[in-house]
Amino acid sequence: MLKPRYLGLTAPIVAFISIIISIILSPGFSFTNNALSDLGVWKNHGIIFNAGLAISGFMIVIFSADMFRRARSPWKSVSASTILVGIFLVFVGVFNENFGKIHFLFSVLFFVSLAFVILLSIFLLIRARQHLSATIFSLLFLCAAASWLLPLIDVVSNVAIPETVSALVGCVWLIWLALDSPLSNL
The 10s digit of each residue's pLDDT in 93-128 is 999 999 999 999 999 999 999 999 999 999 999 999
Between residues 160 and 5, which one has the greater pLDDT? 160
pLDDT at 109: 99
8 Å CB contact between 169 and 177:
no
At 130-178, the pLDDT tens digits run: 999 999 999 999 999 999 999 999 888 999 999 999 999 999 999 999 9
Return the closest-CA partner of residue 53 out of 175, 177, 167, 178: 167
Longest distance between any two alpha carbons in the chain, whole Å: 50
pLDDT at 103: 97
Print burial letters for 113-148: b (CB count within 10 Å at least 16), e (below 16).
bbbebbebbbebbeeeebeebbebbbebbeebeebb
Does the reported pTM lie above 0.85?
yes
Three-state SS at 133: helix
